Copies of this chain bind each other. A is one copy, B any other.
């Protein structure tokens, strides 16, 4: 069994000399518990369940730190949906369910044939990419059992 993702985030936070405060724990836990990426305001609302007098500013500040440590990643989709999801460090991607917005992290990727083609056609030296996948999760697919709204 793998350690829960929130433990890793907490460990990294400490390792970089940040204090583990109530507010930060509430934000991390909320992200870890969320099946789907959260927009800042939703994250704020939900995190207040864990830390009732949390301030919105602190959510911004915490996200900034988590982002700088690569513990969280912004998720953009074609629609206006735009949120943050906890992520393990290194190169990963996310698939988001169109219907229920649940998100799954994908480790690694191989799109080199495509990258090679781009390199040839454009002459660009490719240094990085950003890839988001959209689909229907198994749950939503089997029947109408998926939630219509992100949890």
Residues of A within 8 A of B (CB): 76-78, 95, 97-98, 104, 106, 109-111, 113-115, 117-118, 121-138, 141
Q: Which residues of B contact A78 (CB under 8 A)?
A: 128, 130
Q: Which residues of B contact A124 (CB under 8 A)?
A: 95, 97, 104, 133, 135-138
Supplied contacts A78-B128, A125-B135, A129-B133, 20 more A-B pairs, CB within 8 Å? A76-B76, A76-B130, A78-B130, A95-B122, A95-B124, A104-B122, A106-B118, A106-B121, A106-B122, A111-B111, A113-B113, A115-B133, A122-B137, A124-B133, A124-B137, A124-B138, A125-B136, A130-B130, A130-B132, A130-B133
Report which of B76, B117, B129, B132 forms a contact with A134, defined as CB distance below 8 A.
B129
Asked if residues A130 and B134 are in contact (CB atoms below 8 Å), the reply is yes
A107 to B30, CA, bound (A): 39
Q: Which residues of B contact A111 (CB under 8 A)?
A: 111, 114, 131
Most chain B CB atoms below 10 A, which of A128, A137, A138: A128
Q: Which residues of B contact A95 (CB under 8 A)?
A: 118, 122, 124, 126
A137 to B97, CA, bound (A): 34
A98 to B124, CA, bound (A): 10
Asked if residues B110 and A114 are in contact (CB atoms below 8 Å), the reply is yes
Q: Closest CB of chain B to A49's CB: distance in Å?
A: 28
